[in-house]
Chain A
């Protein structure tokens, strides 16, 4: 890989005379970009300090990665020096310096440039740039009227020292350029390649039009891109949604399974304790595992029939063997006596409602499976907003979307119950604007309830994550390591409020849910499915044979971004299953071994404002404590960094390892 070092220290004399003018300077340096990430300290900062003969003037020294990332640099600057007292000396390329100068502009702070940007094409600041990991020899001068069609894929603008378009200048000797004798004449190469293709020059060449993309157009594009980066919340992505595949398919009942596998652990917290044994006859909705602690939730039988065993099976999200109750369905759907609803719930005590929600095993259905009753118990902090999450920002999934369209009234009723329990005035429903039908339906239904506000949000992944949703809709920032409660908000998923409604009004425990099956399945759709339905039944019913071809396909439970890859098929639907997507494997898959090139893209997309490249660097060297220093515990594993990584580094698996190793020890 070519070393695209960006800057180097200015000559000593110049620096000396320059810094005569200041008495108090804070040094900021950038750790450089677009180069193989091989060592952490990448700068002439030490050299500068050694050389500088008035060390008492230096009030501090701090590195900021990607100094030109205006948003993060501004935040960090405020944190580090408060921008009030010192002059600032900057060691970075021209972009970093200009960014700092811009930020410091209104503070009357003088910004000194301590470095010269190294003239070299192909680094981040030049027109003849590279992206991604194209740190090879190909270059593009972004001329705006690509000639490669005519020149067989060899660029005459970059390749020819004179950027000639009219063929060779005639000065080449022994096929070498007369300007740069170490280079081959590109026009000779072009001729050779065209011959190989059995072609001749048959088209004329247009002269260069240096004005094809106007300043105005460029400005529009810049504006568009900057807006996308910071709109609603910092970072995030806009992956292809692929929602159209299933968005208009109405929820279908999945055929009743012959057996169900009910995991005892279907929630965050301690697994429920077993109440049945082999041979027991159970009814639909009967509690078969009771809640075993404060943060826990009971599980219920989703069919009527007979317990034929309690075994260990592979858990789809915990990825270890966990106990399951296997029940043979007798298809009689005989309901348990406990299933009785309370239509007049408005007259009930809040406590009693929370108890029911707990007993009915309601957990967060967005995927996290956090027991809902814990969220609804009167919290210490005052709550002023109930947030209903209808974002469903994961590509492919439509379960929540369909639910909002088809069960609008039930959802509203569920919201009313949750609102009563929490005694809040404000309810906000956040729906991304790629779900027009749901927005219309909900919008119409809430006309009667002026206290429900519907927010239509521009799509951006991972807007459905609680923190991001709160930021987008209320502007509040959940503190680092904190919970939505800390800013007075409780967030419930639309699926969860629907099941609250089912539990209170109809007495149904959480024994079925809606999932989306999409991707390379033969039969795609949205299904209402009993919890515990074996994955194999779904693969059979939906024609998912390709899932067994693990060479070329992978099956994810959940969406493509945050979903968990299912390597073991002898497992079943749990409460947090939002869907299954079957996707073709990327031939250039991710690897932990790839080298980071410090492109900074992961930093740009991380909604938690982290610096994921350090997880790549330290993770590879197994320096887990270092990952902890870079706050790996704040990571929400949204997958944005891995998605965008131009070196295809499997950041998520490194992050998971870092979390495990860095904190378990401590």
Chain B
């Protein structure tokens, strides 16, 4: 799931040194979008703004075009266009207005796994050769900072990963899960296959 955070005030101030047109996409505000901050900014910079389009699913070029049809002249005459959306939305607008300076008002980040709107605790890295059968359903590729398949690296301290002390060691989680379902023997009995990166390159 792509989520967004407003760019630094300093950078934003720079964009507003001329008269600009604003796009604001609220399609994903149900998950996370700094809507209040954007609204505040729009209010503050009011006199610099020549027009505003509030849209959902700016990432859909067809929808975006319909919105834009109504305001084309206004947009083209603006000295710049600021888009508050994820990187996809910015690229859509930039493609339509190739000749204008289109800038992103937000930085885009990734949140673990999602369906629809719901963010999950777990994540999948599309390795192409799912290992979950041997790990009790905890993914070693995403829950281990080093994506190890050969058990823990040995560096964990107090359950925490040595690379990122904010997360639990994935292999401890795997062990605990297997123990819960009485299958910790898997760890000794099974041989893991080495990762086959060709699957990723070719996209099986």
Chain A residues near B (Cβ < 8 Å): 8, 10, 18, 33, 66, 68-71, 93-95, 97-102, 104-106, 108-113, 115-120, 123-127, 129-134, 136, 138-146, 148-149, 152-155, 193, 196-197, 199, 212-216, 218-219, 221-222, 224-226, 228-229, 237-238, 240, 587-588, 599-605, 644, 646, 648
Residue on B with the closest CB to A129? Answer: B2
- Give 15 CB contacts A-B under 8 Å: A68-B113, A68-B118, A69-B118, A108-B181, A117-B130, A120-B203, A129-B110, A130-B88, A138-B95, A144-B5, A153-B102, A587-B66, A600-B117, A648-B57, A648-B63
Report A-chain residues with C-beta under 8 Å of the C-beta of B104.
146, 148-149
Complex CA gap A134/B107 in Å reads: 18
Q: Mark B40-74, 1 if CB is under 8 A from A, else 0.
A: 00000000000000011101111110110110000
A60 to chain B, nearest CB (A): 20
A172, B3: Cα distance in complex, Å: 33
Closest chain A CB from B31 CB (angstroms): 5
Query: B120–A228 contact, CB under 8 A?
Result: no
Query: Least Cβ distance of B91 to chain A in Å?
Result: 4
Instruction: Compute how far the CA of A601 lies from the CA of B116 in the bound complex, rounded to whole angstroms.
Output: 4
Residues of B within 8 A of A120 (CB): 126, 203
Contact bitstring B15-58, A, C-beta under 8 A = 1, else 0: 10000000000111111100100000000000000000001110
Q: How far is the CA of A219 from the CA of B32 in the complex (A)?
A: 12
B60 touches A133 (CB 8 A): yes
Contact B127 A133 (CB under 8 A): no
**In whole angstroms, what is the CA distance A10 to B115 when docked?**
23
B130→A145 contact, CB < 8 A: no
Q: Which of chain B's residues have a CB closer than 8 A to the CB of A143? A: 107-108
Asked whether, in the complex, the Cβ of B2 is within 8 Å of the Cβ of A142, the reply is yes
Contact with A along B67-89 (1 / 0, CB 8 A): 10110000000000000001110
A105 and B177 contact, CB distance less than 8 A: yes
Residues of chain B within 8 A (CB-CB) of A113 are: 130, 132-133, 137
Known: A69-B118, A146-B107. A646 touches B123 (CB 8 A): no
A146 close to B87 (CB less than 8 A): yes
Q: B residues engaging A (CB < 8 A)?
A: 1-3, 5, 7, 15, 26-32, 35, 55-57, 59-64, 66-67, 69-70, 86-88, 90-95, 98-104, 106-130, 132-133, 136-139, 164, 166-167, 177, 180-183, 199-200, 203-204
Contact indicator A222/B119 (Cβ below 8 Å) = yes
Query: Please, how many angstroms separate the alpha-carbon atoms of A113 and B107 in the complex?
Result: 36
User: In the assembled complex, which residues on chain A have CB atoms less than 8 Å from the CB atom of B87?
Assistant: 140-142, 146, 148, 155
Q: Which residues of A contact B200 (CB under 8 A)?
A: 119
- Inter-chain CA distance A134–B85, complex, in Å, is 13
With A118-B204, A125-B126 as given contacts, are A600 and B115 in contact (CB-CB < 8 Å)?
Answer: yes
- How far is A221 from B114 in the complex, measured between Cα atoms in Å? 13
The residue that A129 contacts in the complex, of B1, B15, B35, B70, with Cβ under 8 A, is B1
A348 to chain B, nearest CB (A): 49
Across-interface contacts of A70 in B (CB, < 8 A): 118, 120
- Whether B126 and A94, one on each chain, are in contact in the complex, defined by CB atoms closer than 8 angstroms, is yes
Q: How far does the alpha carbon of A604 sit from the alpha carbon of B119 in the complex, in Å?
A: 11
State how many angstroms separate the Cβ of B42 from the closest Cβ of chain A.
Answer: 13
User: How distant is the Cα of A111 from the Cα of B62 in the complex, in angstroms?
Assistant: 42
- From residue A641, how far is it (CB to closest CB) to chain B in Å? 11
- Residues of chain B contacted by A148 (CB below 8 angstroms): 87, 90-91, 94, 102-104
- The reply to whether B92 and A116 contact each other, CB–CB distance below 8 Å, is no
Alpha-carbon distance between A97 and B115 when the two chains are bound, in angstroms: 13
Task: Give chain B nearest CB distance to A6 CB in angstroms.
Answer: 9
Residue of A nearest to B82 (CB): A149
Expressed in whole angstroms, the Cα–Cα distance for A602 and B115 within the complex equals 11
Q: CA A148 – CA B82 in complex, angstroms? A: 11
From A222, which residue of chain B is reached at the shortest CB distance? B119
Q: Which of B99, B124, B166, B181 contacts A93 (CB 8 A)?
A: B124
B115 A66 Cβ-Cβ under 8 A: yes
Contacts of B133 in A (CB 8 A): 18, 112-113
Is there contact, CB below 8 Å, between A101 and B137? yes
CA gap between A98 and B123 in the complex, in Å = 8
Among B94, B106, B121, B182, the residue within 8 A (CB) of A222 is B121
Q: How far is the CA of A109 from the CA of B127 in the complex (A)?
A: 25
Further pairs besides A105-B136, A113-B132: 13, Cβ < 8 Å: A71-B118, A102-B137, A120-B203, A130-B59, A138-B59, A140-B87, A143-B107, A148-B94, A149-B103, A212-B107, A225-B119, A229-B118, A644-B117
- Tell me whether A101 and B2 are in contact in the complex, defined as CB-CB below 8 angstroms, given that A118-B203, A229-B117, A588-B67 are known contacts: no
Quick check: A604 and B102 within 8 Å, CB to CB?
no
Shortest beta-carbon distance from B86 to chain A in Å: 6
Closest B residue, CB atoms, query A112? B133
**A127 — which chain B residues lie within 8 A by C-beta?**
110
Report B-chain residues with C-beta under 8 Å of the C-beta of A601: 30, 116-117
Instruction: Contact check, A134 vs B92: say whether CB atoms are below 8 A apart.
Output: yes
Q: What B residues does A123 contact at CB under 8 A?
A: 126
A116 touching B118 by the CB < 8 A rule?
no
Which of chain B's residues has its CB closest to A226's CB? B119
Residues of chain B contacted by A106 (CB below 8 angstroms): 180
Looking at the assembled complex, report how far the CB atom of B101 sits from the nearest CB atom of chain A, in whole angstroms: 6
Which of A117, A133, A142, A229 contacts B109 (CB under 8 A)? A142
Once the chains bind, are A94 and B118 in contact (CB under 8 Å)?
Answer: no
Whether A118 and B98, one on each chain, are in contact in the complex, defined by CB atoms closer than 8 angstroms, is no
In the complex with contacts A132-B60, A133-B59, A139-B88, A604-B116 CB distance below 8 A? yes
CA distance A94 to B126 in the complex (A): 7
Q: Are A225 and B31 in contact, with the CB atoms below 8 A?
A: yes
Q: A132 to B27: give the CA distance in the assembly, Å.
A: 8
A116, A134, A144, A196: the one within 8 Å of B129 (CB)? A116
Which residues of B are found within 8 Å of A133, using beta-carbon distances?
57, 59-60, 62-63
- Cβ contact of A214, chosen from B32, B166, B182, cutoff 8 A: B166
Q: Which residues of B contact A109 (CB under 8 A)?
A: 181
Known: A130-B59, A131-B59, A145-B107. A140 touches B95 (CB 8 A): no
CA distance A115 to B204 in the complex (A): 13
Closest-CB distance, B179 to chain A (whole angstroms): 11
B95 — which chain A residues lie within 8 A by C-beta? Answer: 138, 153
Task: Indicate if the CB atoms of B118 and A108 lie closer than 8 Å.
Answer: no
